[in-house]
């Protein structure tokens, strides 16, 4: 397997208030673990910056301009209760989208079998018209629309195992049967959405977990709800909203996963991609706030992507 890593130094320049969990050190921890000789064959590419108009694939223009106007010339600007912007946040957000779309290009052009995008700010809480949950634009939603528009993908599956429900992705694709959205998340927990009966146009599959659930519970939900949905959908591309905050070390939730569980889930996604999507998998970093848990989990995830 050829695995391509997309990242960029500008992601470290998206600054947040002191003590905020979604901090630049997250990417430093990932970069450090990916320096190990086990990742010697990882194809590393600097992420390109997207044209702002690409954001319009998933968000209206009024929203795009509102975010642009909210970027401060200095210091920090509050976007919502837990989402902020700094002077480089606009460039970081556009580069995160550029990375996601370049990864989609890479797998459709055969330049890589799969890709991992180590970017911030994350995206899956950003709704069509609302920034929230540390997210400005919905990176995975833009990537799905980009795959459809540019590469003719008819069916795109998004698998979201961040411990917080991806309300933004669900909002954007609620009535669109060409995109399958499957989420495993703790409930109740921020943002409060993600019940089993939230099914959209039959294309939304939520598999909520309870505080204290462990790898066995996660794997059962994945096997009984997510994998059958993928099999029925037969996607041309699988995108992963790869949050690692369901790790037992994470301070923002109470799910007891280990890096082995993320390795297992990655393998299951890759198996379905091999069956239906020509191995095309693009994984986008979402949450994960304990630096050690995040680093170990990303390491296991990327090793599995590379190993096939």
Measured from the Cβ of residue 37, the count of other Cβ atoms closer than 10 Å reads 6
284 DSSP β-pair partners: 117, 241
Q: Is 48 exposed, middle or buried (0-12, 13-18, 19+ CB in 10 A)?
A: middle
Tell me the C-alpha to C-alpha distance, in Å, between residue 13 and each of 16, 75, 95, 141, 199.
Answer: 9, 12, 12, 23, 37
Question: In Å, how far from its chain's centre is CA 22?
Answer: 14
Separation between Cα atoms, residue 112 and residue 138, nearest integer Å: 23
Q: What angle do CA 222, 275, 265 make, to 5 degrees?
A: 25
In this structure, what DSSP letter does residue 119 have? -
Tell me the C-alpha to C-alpha distance, in Å, between residue 303 and each of 76, 215, 279.
Answer: 36, 19, 16
Q: Are strands 179-186 and 204-209 parallel, antiparallel or unpaired?
A: parallel
**Active-site amino acid positions:** 125
Determine the straight-line distance between the first and last CA of the chain, rounded to whole angstroms.
6
Separation between Cα atoms, residue 208 and residue 206, nearest integer Å: 6
What residues contact residue 18 under an 8 Å CB cut-off, 6+ apart? Answer: none
Q: What is the dihedral of CA 68, 74, 79, 84, to 10 degrees?
A: 120
| Helix ranges restricted to H, 152-290 | 167-173, 215-221, 227-233, 259-276
């Amino acid at each position: 397997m050829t695995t391509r890593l997309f990242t960029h130094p500008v992601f470290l320049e998206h600054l947040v208030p002191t003590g905020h969990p979604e901090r630049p050190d997250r990417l430093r921890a990932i970069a450090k673990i990916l320096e190990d000789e086990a990742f010697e064959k990882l194809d590393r590419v600097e992420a390109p910056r997207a044209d702002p108009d690409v954001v319009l694939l998933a968000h209206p223009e009024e929203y795009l301009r509102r975010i642009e106007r909210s970027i401060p010339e200095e210091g920090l600007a509050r976007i919502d209760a837990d989402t902020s912007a700094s002077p480089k946040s606009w460039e970081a957000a556009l580069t995160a989208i550029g990375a996601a779309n370049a990864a989609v290009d890479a797998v459709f052009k055969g330049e890589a079998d799969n890709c991992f995008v180590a970017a911030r700010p994350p995206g899956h809480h950003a709704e069509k018209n609302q920034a929230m949950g540390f997210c400005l634009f919905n990176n995975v939603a833009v990537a799905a629309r980009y795959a459809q528009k540019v590469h003719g993908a008819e069916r795109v599956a998004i698998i979201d195992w961040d411990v917080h429900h991806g309300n933004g992705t669900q909002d954007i694709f609620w009535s669109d049967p060409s995109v399958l959205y499957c989420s495993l998340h703790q409930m109740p927990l921020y943002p409060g959405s993600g019940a089993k009966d939230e099914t959209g146009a039959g294309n939304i599959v939520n598999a909520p977990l309870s505080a204290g659930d462990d790898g066995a519970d996660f794997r059962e939900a994945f096997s009984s709800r997510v994998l059958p949905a993928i099999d029925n959908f037969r996607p041309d591309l699988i995108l992963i909203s790869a949050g690692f905050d369901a790790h037992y070390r994470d301070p923002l939730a109470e799910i007891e996963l280990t890096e082995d569980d993320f390795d297992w889930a990655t393998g299951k996604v890759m198996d379905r991609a091999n069956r239906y999507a020509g191995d095309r998998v693009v994984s986008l970093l979402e949450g994960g706030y304990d630096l050690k848990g995040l680093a170990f989990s990303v390491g296991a995830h990327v090793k599995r992507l590379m190993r096939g």
